[in-house]
A and B are shown apart, each in its own frame.
Chain A
Amino acid sequence: KQEVTQIPAALSVPEGENLVLNCSFTDSAIYNLQWFRQDPGKGLTSLLLIQSSQREQTSGRLNASLDKSSGRSTLYIAASQPGDSATYLCAVRVSDMRFGAGTRLTVKP
């Protein structure tokens, strides 16, 4: 069974900092990997989707990389803002789709 791990569990940074969130998975035979954002009490917002054949995807201040062979993905957030405060989840798709425990990000003004 695929195991997905996210490090760190929580992160607090001052506004303007660049930061990296990490996701690792045990089974490298994936179809794709998605990064999501979840605000408290809310559903999921899809941020980036990386197919297994891709190495990275970018959207605005977000950049996600994928190293399938080592079972790792990173989400890079540039010039963080207080509005980026949320829980960030990665999910890995094989025949099913499994989530990591998330990283709770707080960006302080």
Chain B
Amino acid sequence: GAVVSQHPSRVICKSGTSVKIECRSLDFQATTMFWYRQFPKQSLMLMATSNEGSKATYEQGVEKDKFLINHASLTLSTLTVTSAHPEDSSFYICSSSDTADTEAFFGQGTRLTVV
């Protein structure tokens, strides 16, 4: 199957700093990218949907100025958590597909811990 590479897999940062998470589709064109957040013992909550070359569509309650999403190319999307705080500690995972009706492939996830 197609491969989505997410990096880093684990990051610890100090409160107030920014963290960038990368998601790359290695063998297909990721027209659409989804970013999710998962708190312990909870399901994946959709944060935003981005289409290549367009601004991301954020879910209600997700601060777009805090969670910056860039999807400038068909193979790379980034999520930057700005001015991170301990409550942003979570498991972040990306997903992408080439068309709306094809299988979505998931990155390995990034466990963010803000201290």
Contacts and interface: CB of A to CB of B under 8 A. Distances in A.
Contact of A32 (B42, B101, B105, B108): B101
A98 B44 CA distance: 8
B104 A97 contact: yes
Interface string A36-53: 100001111010010110
A101 to B, nearest CB: 4
B106 to A, nearest CB: 5
B21 to A, nearest CB: 13
> Secondary structure of the B side of the interface?
loop
A93 interface: yes
A60 B107 CA distance: 24
B104 A34 contact: yes
A36 B103 CA distance: 12
Interface of A: 31-32, 34, 36, 41-44, 46, 49, 51-52, 89, 91, 93, 95-102
A101 B43 CA distance: 5
A62 to B, nearest CB: 16
B46 A96 contact: yes
B61 interface: no
Interface of B: 1, 34, 36, 42-46, 49, 93, 95, 100-109, 111
A51 B101 contact: yes
A99 B44 CA distance: 6
Given A32-B101, A49-B103, A93-B104, 16 more contacts: A31-B100, A31-B101, A32-B102, A32-B103, A41-B111, A43-B109, A44-B109, A46-B106, A51-B101, A52-B101, A91-B44, A93-B100, A95-B100, A96-B46, A97-B95, A98-B46
26 contacts: A31-B100, A32-B101, A32-B102, A36-B106, A41-B111, A43-B93, A43-B106, A43-B107, A43-B109, A44-B109, A46-B105, A46-B106, A49-B103, A52-B101, A91-B104, A93-B100, A93-B101, A95-B49, A96-B46, A96-B49, A97-B34, A97-B95, A97-B104, A99-B43, A99-B44, A99-B45
